[in-house]
Amino acid sequence: MPEIRPKSRQLGRRIQGQSMSNSSVLSEILTGATAAYHQHPHVATAAVKRTLTQGRLLTSSDIDSLTVLEFAAQDILQKYHAAMRQMETRLETLDQDLKLRQSRNPIHHIESRMKSVPSIFEKLGRYGKSQTLDSMERYIMDIAGLRVIVSYVQDVYDILHYLEHQDDLEVVAVKDYIKNPKPNGYRSLHMIVRIPVYFLNGRQSVPVEIQIRTIAMDFWASLEHDLKYKAVFETSGLDVGEELRRCSAIIEEVEERMQVLARALEQEAPVGTHEMDAARKMDLSEGLGA
């Protein structure tokens, strides 16, 4: 994330005293950008910028407004970035704790992502909300996101359980697409949590989206996403959508069998709290030749 550098006190005065420009040029650029992102989300940002701004004359007021908008957006986004990093660290700590007690890491890996400003404003448009920074904070709950990839289905619900019982986390919403897959076969567990983040001006509770899925679910979702953008859902007489749904059902059956196998191969129960407490009180001085 680029470093935020206030350029001068003059910029501060602009932020406080200047209303955003409503010029037709800026409105036209915003409308065009929203439509372009919706139709071609994979197009390089630089190419979109050139297409939308080529030959347009921006006034000094327009430039001032864009400068203020960029500064304000980065100020907001760094808050979400901090929350995402803190949540990722918390999940890594949880994984290490579970490794100690269960002799394995339930979390295979964690991926993080931040929504881009164009995608945020495009989503506000789909929601029928005003495309402002205030609306961005009020209505968009998945600006910061983590994807947690685990080995088994039971690991998904174990992590959900642990997070629900952390007293400083607020679980805002849970959508279980594992027990209730989407019509296309998509399976994953989505949750929105608010995590406390401390800044110079105090503590704020910032939302982060967490998607928890198994390695097999992630494999399916990656291929489905790739096929969707290649637009090959009807090709050579093959109904790709139906095939994907069948593959999802097959993966679900395999996961259930792998879960049974994993349980059968567990040779001993995890070390309990009682045993851990007893180990902490053991006096090893005699055995060490003291």
**Which residue from 97, 101, 25 is spatially nearest to 65, judged by alpha carbons?**
25
Q: Residue 22's pLDDT is what?
A: 42
Positions annotated as catalytic residues are 209
Q: Is 258 exposed, middle or buried (0-12, 13-18, 19+ CB in 10 A)?
A: middle
Mean pLDDT of 139-143: 93
Residues of the chain with pLDDT > 70: what percent?
63
Q: CA–CA separation, 105 vs 162, rounded Å? A: 15
pLDDT above 80: residue 9: no
Task: Assess contact for 73 and 20: CB atoms under 8 A.
Answer: no
Predicted pLDDT of residue 113? 93
Position 53 scores a pLDDT of 53
pLDDT at 10: 39
State the chain's mean pLDDT as an integer: 76
Residues in the chain: 290
pLDDT recorded at residue 56:
58
**What does the pLDDT read at residue 258?**
86
* Global confidence as pTM: 0.69
> Distances from the Cα of 113 to the Cαs of 209, 245, 259, in angstroms?
10, 27, 29
Asked whether the predicted pLDDT for residue 46 surpasses 70, the reply is no
pLDDT in tens, 208-220: 999 999 999 999 9
Mean pLDDT of 102-116: 89
Q: In the chain, what's the furthest Cα-to-Cα distance?
A: 84
pLDDT at 134: 86
Inform me whether the pLDDT recorded for 6 exceeds 50.
no
Per-residue pLDDT of 166-186, as tens digits, reads 999 999 999 999 999 999 999
The pLDDT score that the predictor gives to residue 263 is 79
Q: What tens digit of pLDDT does each residue of 214-253 get?
A: 999 999 998 887 777 665 555 566 777 888 888 999 999 8
Q: What is the predicted pLDDT for the residue at 192? A: 97
Look at 41 and 85; give whichever has higher pLDDT: 85
